Homo-oligomer: A and B are copies of this chain.
Amino acid sequence: MGSGDIVGIGFVGLGVMGQPMALNLLRAGYPLTVYNRTAARAAPLAEAGASVAVSPRAVAAASPVVFVNVADDAAVEAVLFGPEGLVHGLAPEAVVVDMGTTSPAATRAFARRLAERGCTLLDAPVSGGEAGARAGTLSIMVGGPQAAFVRVLPLLEVLGRNIVHVGESGAGQVAKACNQIVVSATLMGVAEALTFARRQGVDAARVREALLGGFAYSRILEVHGRRMLAGDYTPGFRARLHQKDLGIVSREAQALNLALPASALAAQLMNALVASGQAEADSSALVQVIEQLCGLAPDKPADS
C-alpha cells in the first residue's frame, strides 16, 4: 500500500509524543489534517505543510484514518464523542487509531460505540518515549480488527519499528499495561541493586557492567541504569506518565480481582517520586526514592 491509498490522514493531539509523530507522517508524504486543543501547538505542523482544522469533527471530515494521542480516558472520550467530536465527521469505514495509553475497559467500550456507526477503533499505544517518537523507532502494540490493522500498517511503519498486532480490541492497551508492569518492576530491581552496591562500598558502575553480561540483562539496566549512575533524569519517559499508567494497572487489577503486589509497590514508589517534585523527570529517577529510604543522598552527576 502506498501513500496514494489513504488520501488524507488526521491527527488529533499534538503533545510531546503526538507532535513528532505527526511530523514523521507529514515527512513521509502523507497529506495531514491536524487538531490540537491548544492551537499554538499546531503551528509547527502548519509550517511543515499540514492543514489545521477547527475541531476533531473537521479532522474526521477530511480523513479516512485519524490518529489520536491525548492525555487520558476522558480526553479520548471527548475527542471521539464530544459535541465537536470525531464521530460527527467520520465517514463509514473510517479507522481511528488511539496511540495514547487508555484503559483496556474504556478502549473496548469506545470501540463498540464506534462500531455501531460503522467505524473502527484500533488501540495502538506505544513504548519508546519522546526519543522514539522523534526517531520513528517506537514499539507499537495494536488491538482491534485484523483488516483495519493491515490497512494502517504502512502508516504505523512510519512511526515505529516493532509493530505487533496483539489481538482483539483492547489487546494493545493490555500489552501496554504489561509493558509498564515489566518496566516498573525492572526499574525497582535495578534501583535497589545499584543502591545496595553503593551502600556496600562497591563501585555500582562495575556491578552494572558485570550484570549486563548475564541473565540480569535488560534494556532498563543498560539504558536507565546508566541514567541512575549519571544522576541524569532528562526524559525519556516522565514519572507522571508512568504514575498514570500504573494507575490504569491498579484499577484494572481491582476490576478483575488481580493481586499484583510488585506493580502495586511500584505505583507507590512512583507516587513518592512525584511527591518529591520529580513529576517531569524520567521515571528512572525512582532510584532517588530508594536512595532516600536507604539513607543516601541522591547520586550526583560528576561535574554539575
Residues of A whose CB lies within 8 Å of any CB of B are 104, 127-129, 139, 141, 161-162, 164-168, 170-171, 174-175, 177-179, 181-186, 188-190, 192-197, 199-200, 202-203, 206-207, 209-211, 213-221, 223, 243, 247, 249-254, 256-269, 271-272, 274-277, 289-290, 292-295
Once A167-B206, A171-B202 are accepted as A-B contacts, the answer to whether A265 and B257 lie under 8 Å apart by CB is: no
Once A166-B210, A174-B197, A261-B261 are accepted as A-B contacts, the answer to whether A127 and B276 lie under 8 Å apart by CB is: no
B residues near A293, Cβ cutoff 8 Å: 258-259, 261, 268, 271-272, 275, 289, 293
Within 8 Å by CB of A189, from B186, B213, B215, lies: B186
B residues near A258, Cβ cutoff 8 Å: 195-196, 199, 271, 275, 293-294
What 7 pairs between A and B have smallest CB-CB spacing? Answer: A185-B189, A162-B213, A275-B295, A218-B218, A139-B214, A178-B193, A164-B210
Within 8 Å by CB of A220, from B139, B178, B215, B254, lies: B215
Given A174-B207, A182-B221, 6 additional A-B pairs, CB 8 A: A164-B210, A175-B211, A178-B196, A179-B214, A253-B268, A258-B271
Are A253 and B182 in contact (CB-based, < 8 A)?
Answer: no
Are B175 and A207 in contact (CB-based, < 8 A)?
Answer: yes
Once A216-B183, A221-B182 are accepted as A-B contacts, the answer to whether A254 and B243 lie under 8 Å apart by CB is: yes
Within 8 Å by CB of A139, from B104, B213, B261, lies: B213
Are B292 and A292 in contact (CB-based, < 8 A)?
Answer: yes
Interface residues of chain A: helix, strand, loop or mixed (majority)? helix
Give bound CA distance, A185 to B218, whole Å. Answer: 12
B residues near A219, Cβ cutoff 8 Å: 214-218
Contact sample, A vs B, 14 pairs, CB 8 Å cutoff: A174-B200, A175-B210, A185-B190, A189-B263, A196-B253, A200-B252, A247-B254, A253-B268, A257-B272, A257-B275, A257-B295, A259-B269, A261-B265, A262-B266
**Would you give the shortest CB distance from A228 to chain B, in whole angstroms?**
12
Give bound CA distance, A299 to B242, whole Å. Answer: 29
